[in-house]
Amino acid sequence: MPQRVLIGVGGGIAAYKVCEVVSSLAQSDRDVRVIMTAAAEQFVAPLTLATLARHPAYGDRHEWTGDRGRPLHIDLGEWAQVLVLAPLTANTLGKLAHGLADNLLTNTVLASTCPVLLAPAMNTDMWNQVSVQRNWQQIHQDPRYHAVGPGAGRLACDRVGTGRMAEPAEILAQVRSLLYTQGRRDLVGRHILISAGSTREFLDPVRFIGNPSTGKMGIALAQAALHRGATVTLVHGPMEAALQTGLNGVERSPVTTAEEMYQALLHHLPRTDWLIMAAAVADVKPAQTHQHKLPKAELPESLPLANVPDLIATLKQHKQPHQRFIGFAAQTGDIVTPALDKLQRKGLDAIAANPIDQPHSGFGSDDNQAILIDAQGRQQAIAPCSKLEMAHQLLDFVQDLP
C-alpha cells in the first residue's frame, strides 16, 4: 500500500517550491493529497498541484465533501501518515501554536495525529518578531511537530537574511525519514560522528590518488541521525555536488587528505557515542609530493607509493567503553568474507558490507544494499533501497548492539 503524504500549502511566494515536492513524492509512488489555503491559491493554481499530485487539490470550498458525508478535515486527518506545511506562514503558525482552526488546513491539522513537518517561509523581520519566535518555540513543545528550515539568503523582498523556505530536497529527505520513523526521536542525547566521501592524496597541486566515492551514503546517515534527534558531526572529503542536498543542523568538518580526516575525527571523538566510518579513505599515497605541477615529461614512469595509516584501527586506541565503532566494507564479488575479516581485525562493533558491482548500489548511486554484521555474528540483509532508508536501518541495527 502506498505511503500517504498530505501537503498543506500556505500563502507565500515560496509556494512554487512545493510543486517539486508534490511531483517527486507522486513520482516515487507515494499517495499525495494537497490542501491549499485561500491565500495559497493566489500564488499557485490548484490545477497545477492537482496535476502533479494526480488528485484534486482541496480548498476551503471542499470542507463538506469528505467520504460518506463526513467533514473532509476528518477524512484527511485520519488518512495522512505525514502532514507537511510548506510554506508555513506566520499566520498559520500563530493559529496552530494556540490551537485555533478557521479553515480546512488548520482544521485538518487538529483532526490528525500523524507527525507534522513545518517548513516556515517569511520576511526576515517577520521571522524575527518576538511574537513569531514565541509561537515557534511554543509549537515545538508538542512532539508531533518537526521542523525543516528556514534557511538564510536572498528573499523575494530582496532582503538578505533568515526566512527562506527549505529547498525541496531537504523537505523530501525529512518526509521520507518521517514515513520511516513516524516521528520517533529515539537518538536524542546521542552524539554521532560520521565520516563520508573520499580522500585525495596529491602527487602535485593538480594530480592525486582518489576514488569515486561521492559521500551520498554518509550524507544519508547524517540526515537520518539528525531527523531522529541526534547531534551529528560529519567529517567529509571533497563532495560539493552531494552537499547541495542540504545539511542544516549538522556540524560539518571538511577535509581533503586521510591525515586531515584522521585529525578531525580524533578531535571530535571524545564526545562521540557512535563513530560510523562511511568514508572511502585512501589506502596509499604518493611517497613524494611536489609543491609545483610536474611537467608531463618529468612524471615518473613508476610511482613510488607509501601506505596511509588505517584510520579506524588507529582511532580504536582512543575508544571509550560506551562508544560504538561501525565500519563500511565496499566490496565486489563475495562481500561477507572480507567484511568479517575487517570486522574482527579492526575490533569493530559492527560493519556494513555493501557491493559496488551491483546495479543501483555503491559509489554515486542514490540507492544501496548491504549485509550488516555485528561482533557477535548477527547478520541482517538490507535489500536494495534508498540510501536514506538504508541509513535508518543501519541506525536501528546499531541501537540493538549489546
CA distances 218 to 6, 36, 130, 227, 392, Å, are 29, 36, 37, 14, 12
Please name the residue that has the C-alpha cell 517561509: 121
CB 181 within 8 A of CB 33: no
Residue 385 annotated to the active site:
no
CA distances 87 to 96, 122, 224, Å, are 14, 8, 23
DSSP 88-110: EPHHHHHHHHTT---SHHHHHHH
d(CA 264, CA 207): 24
Q: E strand or H helix at 118, and its extent?
A: strand 116-120
CB 386 within 8 A of CB 369: no
Please name the residue that has the C-alpha cell 484534486: 56
DSSP code at position 103: S
Burial of 78 (0-12, 13-18, 19+ CB in 10 A): middle
d(CA 368, CA 384): 5
d(CA 55, CA 333): 45
SS3 (DSSP) at 283: coil
Strands 274-277 and 324-331: parallel
- Choosing from 19, 114, 157, 385, the catalytic residue is 157
Strands 31-36 and 4-9: parallel
Q: Which residues are catalytic?
A: 157
